[in-house]
Amino acid sequence: MDFNKKQRDKFSASKFLLKAGGVLFLVVAVVLIYANFKIYQKKQELANQVNAYKKQIEEIQKRNETLKEEIANSDNPEYIEKIARDQANLQKPGEKVVSFIMPKEQENKEKKSENFFATASLSAWLSGLWQFIKNIF
């Protein structure tokens, strides 16, 4: 009987080592899966940044091309005249320029009348809420 008891103890120790090894394997597998997931997320983030930078480079290259065209046309009298008319509002001698300007007062009054009630009621409500909070404390 004593012999059987010792064999049983050795058998239990080997089962314990096997179970511990299995648990250790699972823990290592979970840690590796988590690390892989974090690396995947970082890769996606960096890929998005690369795409954003590519778009930015394309926009800058387009702007660079338009600037090169403008520089090439800087000696062209027709181009200079077009820029002078469009950006500087210049005119040729003897020409009359007609421009339509809306009165600013009417535009401002219309905007104020539309937003007056919404702004006034909101500010009154917020000030009332603030007073209520101040009275509580």
Residue pLDDT, tens place only, 25-40: 999 999 999 999 999 9
Residue pLDDT, tens place only, 97-131: 777 777 776 656 655 555 555 556 667 777 777 88
Examine the domain organization and report whether 107 and 58 are in the same domain: no
Domain assignment of residue 76, given as a range: 2-95
CA dihedral of 86, 91, 96, 100, whole degrees rounded to 10:
20
Q: Which residue reads 């403008």 in tokens?
A: 70
Examine the domain organization and report whether 61 and 120 are in the same domain: no
Cα 54–Cα 58–Cα 59 angle in degrees, nearest 5: 120
Examine the domain organization and report whether 108 and 90 are in the same domain: no
Residue 42 has pLDDT above 90, yes or no: yes
d(C-alpha 5, C-alpha 23), whole Å: 27
Q: How many domains does the chain have?
A: 2
Examine the domain organization and report whether 90 and 108 are in the same domain: no
Residue 63 has pLDDT above 90, yes or no: yes
Who's near 86: CB < 8 A, 6+ residues apart? none
Could you tell me the pTM of the whole model? 0.44
